[in-house]
Amino acid sequence: MQSVTRLTLLLCAAWAAALLYGEMGAYWAARLSCSWPSSSSSPPSSLSPNNHVKIAVVADPQLMDSTSLGLPPSSIALQAAEFYTDLNMRRSFQSVVLPFKPDVLLFLGDHFDGGPYMSNEEWHESLSRFKHIFSMNEHITNPNIPIYYLSGNHDIGYSAFHKIHPEVISRYEKEFGSRNYQFSAGKVDFVVVDAQTLDGAKESKERSSSWEFIKALSPGNKTNPKVLLTHIPLYRPDNSPCGPHRSSPVINQRVSNAAMDQGITYQNYLSKETSDLLLHLLKPVLVLSGHDHDQCTVVHPTPFGPVTEHTLGTISWQQGNLYPSFMLLSSGPKLPANSTDIEHEVLTNLCFLPKQTHIYIWYIFQFVVTLLLLILWPTNGLRSLPYVNSFVSFMRSVAAELFSRTKEKDDEEDGEYEMVWDAEGSMHLVKKAVARTPSTSSDSRTTGRGNVVARPTARKNQPEPDSSVLVEMSSEMISEDGGKVPRSSKLKIRRVLQRLFRVIQSIVVIAALNVPLYMMLLFKDWIDR
């Protein structure tokens, strides 16, 4: 039983280590593996914190709701999925994003999953979850850090939806502000556009207002570089390479139009005409987008030079991306008028979050291994197995042989010698004879009168037999006529029950030590600070 106890304690330590890393250490590792972008060729004066604004960019949280899995809102499965998804994003935000101490937070759209289709009650419930996940109810982000939002198709729908349900736009704008606006950070202008309306029906007022905003931006003002922020990525040819950070196959263009030219019902990218016009009117130095849920970097050729677009992956592990991420962006000072190096104006660094799916897979694997070890582990340890016992006996015999040879050699070296002179006058060294006292056996001792000798039992140093062997020995009973009556079936059941009780006992011990640890790690990040 001591072997089983040692195994149980070892499994307890293994589970504690796995939980500490999966629930806490993995986020520390993600934090240490990323940093704010910097350029070694930047002038020293431009590296001053007063000249650079640090922006953390998050894309597609897409909070799960009753529209996500087709489950009723009261379903336990849906509530569990919502809890673990929300917890993972909150932990990622608090343990990885916020420790970088950004000056600005930027969300690239799709805050909710079923935003256009939820009732007001469910929408406000999701809004409360969104604020809790990203610490907006806490002093840590409100009002110290400015937050800017983009509208996504999962927030307000596409242009064809707006004509039927215009209330979703007013509901969004009431909480998150205008869908088309501009803000400045570090002498760089960030232009936010409602990409869902740009390819809408020509008579749509939402489409008209978006284009009027874009054209109203001073096209002749070249003092500040511009960064275009759009939830839906710009057009790119089919099968365009997305760079080394892509983890899923490239998604090509797909557009669905409503009947009677009533607008778009779905699109993966903006149309080529819309994308070219945006680039021509705004002339951005950088484009940031979301919507795709996976990382993609493309370069758009334009008459005024190439423009890089970074499509960010989702921050949620439940949205089809095994490698969730966010971006750190440094908005630097403006360059001289004759400078063409736009790298120093806006610097970006893509950062990856813990692979939560892999962590949960590891938990399942470790649970299976734990059960197998507890079920198959011998009562007296591995030495009770025949092959292991033979191996240990062989190694002991080898060690005994080596030590015995060493002792004989030492005896020869440590012996005493004397000088002997022969008849011719030559000297010889002759080893002295050593008188050996007869050894008394330690196995026999006189303990009383006469010839009575007490000998220690030979079973003293023998391993304790396996409980299964003891059960097997008692499986045969002597009948009245001297024959043996087998009772194997009952004893097999008894042996199985004993093994089952032992497994349950060990699991209870492991759970008693690790479940409180797991609950503490869960709720330390869930409770508002």
Whole domain around residue 109: which residue ranges? 1-36+50-335+342-359
pLDDT at res. 454: 47
The answer to whether residue 407 scores a pLDDT higher than 80 is no
Identify the band that residue 34 occupies on the pLDDT scale cut at 50, 70 and 90.
very high
Lowest mean pLDDT among 339-343, 364-368, 503-507: 339-343
CB 290 within 8 A of CB 60: yes
- Cα Rg of the chain, angstroms: 38
- Count of CB atoms within 10 A of residue 60's CB? 27
pLDDT at res. 434: 55
Q: Is residue 70 part of a domain?
A: yes
Q: Is residue 91 part of a domain?
A: yes
The answer to whether residue 425 scores a pLDDT higher than 80 is no
Q: Is residue 86 part of a domain?
A: yes
Identify the band that residue 38 occupies on the pLDDT scale cut at 50, 70 and 90.
confident
Q: Is residue 487 part of a domain?
A: no
Q: CA 280 to CA 228: how far, in whole Å?
A: 12
DSSP states of 26-86: HHHHHHHT------TTS-GGGGSTTT-EEEEEE----B--TTTSS--TT-HHHHHHHHHHH
Q: Is residue 445 part of a domain?
A: no
pLDDT at res. 471: 43
Domain count, the chain: 1
CB 330 within 8 A of CB 346: yes
Average pLDDT over the chain reads: 82
b/e map of 457-480 (b: 16 or more CB within 10 Å)? eeeeeeeeeebbeeeeeebeeeee
Q: CA 81 to CA 68: how far, in whole Å?
A: 10
User: How far is Cα of residue 144 from the mean position of the Cα atoms in its chain?
Assistant: 29
The answer to whether residue 48 scores a pLDDT higher than 80 is no
Q: Is residue 29 part of a domain?
A: yes
Q: Is residue 417 part of a domain?
A: no
